[in-house]
Amino acid sequence: MKLAFTLFKYFPYGGLQRDCLRIAELCLKAGAEIDIYAARLQGEPPQTPVGINFYHLPGKGVSHHRQYLSFAERVRDKVKENGYQAVVGFNRMPGLDLYFAADPCYAETVKGKSFFYRLTSRYRTLAAFEKAVFGPEEGTVILSISEVQRALFQSIYKTSAERFHNLPPGVPADRLLPADSQDLGDSLRRELKIGPEELVVLMVGSGFKRKGVDRALNAFKALPDRLLQKSRLLVVGDDNLDYYRKMAQRFKVAERVIFTGGRTDVPRFLAAADLFLHPAYQENTGGVLIEALAASLPVLVTAVCGYSVHVDRAGAGKLVSEPFIQSELDELLLTMLDSSSKRELWSKNACNYVAKTDLFSLADRAAETIMDVARKNVEVLT
C-alpha cells in the first residue's frame, strides 16, 4: 500500500512537520510505504526510515500562493504516476483523500479584510483550496484537532459531521519530562547563566509574529522593577531574531530576555521553567500547551488558541479573553509571577489533568483513520 503525504513547507522545528513524520512512521509500521512531498524546504530534509521517502517538490512562481498552486498540480501528476491508495494533506489543497486540519479556518480569518483583498489572486487561491477540502459536495475526510475550528468550518461550509474524525492532542514522547527533570532544568539554567531563584517564563514556537512575542515583550516591559529584575523570558524558536532583539532593546528588557533560536532539547527548557506563556494572535490548536501541561507548568494563554480549552478544564493557569487587550495580559502575567502558592496549585492541577485525560494519541488515531480510508479505497478499486 502506498500513501502520499503533502506539506507546503518542511523545516526541522515545526509542530505540523513533526506530526507529519510521526504519523508517517505509524503508517509505515501498519504496512504502508509513504512518499512525503514538500513545496518548500528550509534546512536539511528529515532523516526518515526505509519506507518513508521525502521529496522536495518546489512549485513555480514568485509568490507563495502561486508556488502552492503549482505544487498542487505537480502532486496531482505524481498521484497519477504512482497510484497512491490515499493522499493525505497537511495543508489545504485540491485532490486530498484526507486533510489533517492544523490550519485555522481561512474564511474566518479574512472576514475583516477589505473588498479589494478579496479580488487578489492570493485570496482566490487560498479560498478555493479551503473550499476544495470543506465544501459540502467534497468527500475529503477531515482529521479534526480543534473543537473551535471544527465548529467554524461546519458553520461556514455546511460540512457534514460524518466527514470529521476528532483527534485528541498528541504529545511526542521526547517532550515528556524524565525522572531526572530537576537535573535537566538545573543544567539548562547553569548553561544560560540563570540563577536558581530567578523566575523563568518560557515561550516555544517558530513564527514569532503569530505566537505573540511582541505581546510577551510588552508584558515584560509592564512588570514592576522588583519583579522584572528576578524574571527571565526564554523564547525558543526560529524567526527574525534580530528584529525581536531590537524590540526588546527598545522596551528596555533586553537583559531579561534570551532568544535561543530553534532547539531540539525543548524538555530541558520545560524542566527549567516556572511559567509557560503563549499569547498567540491565532492558533488552531497549540500543541506546546499540551507539552507544558505534561510538564506540570502553569500556563498563561490567549483564549483564541484551540487547546486553551485544556488549560481551562485543567485549572492549570489563566486565559486572556478575546478580543485581546494588552493590559489584561500584563496584569495576569504579574499576578501569576507574584504568587508561588498559586503556581504550585496550577502545577498540581496540570499534573492531575494529564494523568486522567487522553492527550497523547493524536498520531495513533490519525494513522488508524488514514489506513482505514486507504483500505476502503483499495476495496472500491477491486
Digit-coded pLDDT (tens) for 220-240: 999 999 999 999 999 999 899
Answer yes or no: do 335 and 240 share one domain: yes
* Segments forming the whole domain that contains residue 124: 2-168+361-381
- What is the Cα–Cα distance from 143 to 116, expressed in whole angstroms? 33
Answer yes or no: do 198 and 321 share one domain: yes
Model-level pTM greater than 0.85? no
Residues present in the chain in total: 382
Answer yes or no: do 160 and 203 share one domain: no
Find the range with the poorest average confidence among 136-145, 194-203, 280-289.
280-289
pLDDT one-digit tens code per residue, 27-79: 999 999 999 999 999 999 999 999 999 999 999 999 999 999 999 999 999 99
Answer yes or no: do 242 and 138 share one domain: no
Among 123, 100, 97, residue whose Cα is nearest residue 110: 123
Answer yes or no: do 370 and 336 share one domain: no
Cell of 232: 527571565
Q: How far is CA 263 from CA 179, 238, 267, in A?
A: 21, 9, 10
Answer yes or no: do 67 and 185 share one domain: no
The count of domains in the chain is 2
pLDDT one-digit tens code per residue, 91-117: 999 999 999 999 989 999 899 899 999
Answer yes or no: do 259 and 341 share one domain: yes
Answer yes or no: do 246 and 289 share one domain: yes
Answer yes or no: do 216 and 321 share one domain: yes
As a whole number of Å, the end-to-end CA separation of the chain is 14
Angle, to 10 degrees, between the axis of helix 287-294 and the axis of helix 15-29? Answer: 80
CB of 213 closer than 8 Å to CB of 221? no
CATH number at residue 41: 3.40.50.2000
Please, is 287 exposed, middle or buried when counting C-beta atoms within 10 Å of its C-beta (0-12, 13-18, 19+)? buried
For residue 175, what pLDDT band results from cuts at 50, 70 and 90? low
Answer yes or no: do 201 and 238 share one domain: yes
The amino acid at 365 = R
Answer yes or no: do 265 and 164 share one domain: no
Give, as one character, the DSSP assignment of residue 63.
S
Among 216, 296, 206, residue whose Cα is nearest residue 251: 216
For residue 176, what pLDDT band results from cuts at 50, 70 and 90? low
Pairing state between β 317-320 and 231-236: unpaired
Answer yes or no: do 67 and 157 share one domain: yes
